[in-house]
Amino acid sequence: MIGRLNHVAIAVPDLEAAAKTYRDTLGAHVSQPQPLPDHGVTVVFIELPNTKVELLEPLGEGSPIAKFLESNPAGGMHHICYEVDDIIAARNALAAGGARVLGDGEPKTGAHGKPVLFLHPKDFCGALVELEEV
Ligand SMILES: CC[C@H](C(=O)O)C(=O)SCCNC(=O)CCNC(=O)[C@H](O)C(C)(C)COP(=O)(O)OP(=O)(O)OC[C@H]1O[C@@H](n2cnc3c(N)ncnc32)[C@H](O)[C@@H]1OP(=O)(O)O
Ligand SMILES: [Co+2]
């Protein structure tokens, strides 16, 4: 079912400062900020030779990462995104196996313009899992 690692995401309180750290201290190539109002976050991506790092900060009221940042005020590892060939088939198989698919269970369009879903961290070793159909 899961394929390549698409990205590892780090939630941060200040996206500009975090992007500067990655750009100036770690010499990374950092994309321009991408507001995702449907997801309540603004993101940047750091392209690495073998995968990507997503930095995300809350956008607007009711951001899904606000509570995470209350518990992790300096920021922290937020989720891991795996690629799947067929997100509906993956969702149906996972739900049939008892996994909790977050939201209304229907894929939304993610930062890469592809369908994404999230799986509850308590069902996957304490890690929030994102699936992206590629
Ligand atoms: C899609 C656009 C972009 C992209 O890549 O394309 C993105 O990735 S956007 C990413 C932001 N969107 C989301 O994260 C959507 C999915 N997230 C959620 O639905 C919630 O954040 C949820 C359900 C994971 C957590 O909800 P909440 O923050 O309200 O906290 P809870 O008290 O309900 O948490 C329950 C339980 O889970 C633990 N928890 C929360 N967040 C995480 C996490 N990121 N990793 C691991 N564990 C997490 C939390 O500590 C609670 O545990 P407990 O032991 O009960 O205290
Ligand atoms: Co993501």
The number of folded domains in the chain is: 1
Full residue range of the structural domain in which residue 55 is found: 5-133
Which position has the token pair 């269970």? Answer: 105
Phi, psi at residue 113, to the nearest 5°? 75, 15
Split at pLDDT 50, 70, 90, the class of 8 is very high
Ligand 1 site-directed mutation target among 41, 44, 109, 118, most atoms within 8 Å of CB: 118
Taking only the tens place, the pLDDT of each residue in 88-121 is: 999 999 999 999 999 999 999 999 999 999 999 9
Nearest CA among 82, 21, 4, 102 for reference residue 55: 21
Average the pLDDT over 44-71 and give the result: 98
Query: Going by CA atoms, what residue is nearest to atom 55 of ligand 1?
Result: 122
On whether ipTM exceeds 0.95, the answer is: yes
| pTM tops 0.95 | yes
Which position has the token pair 């209304």? Answer: 104
CA distances from 93 to 2, 20, 21, 100 (A): 12, 41, 40, 11
Q: What CATH code is carried by the domain that includes residue 119?
A: 3.10.180.10
Task: Note if 70 is an active site residue.
Answer: no
Is the beta carbon of 57 within 6 A of some atom in ligand 1? no
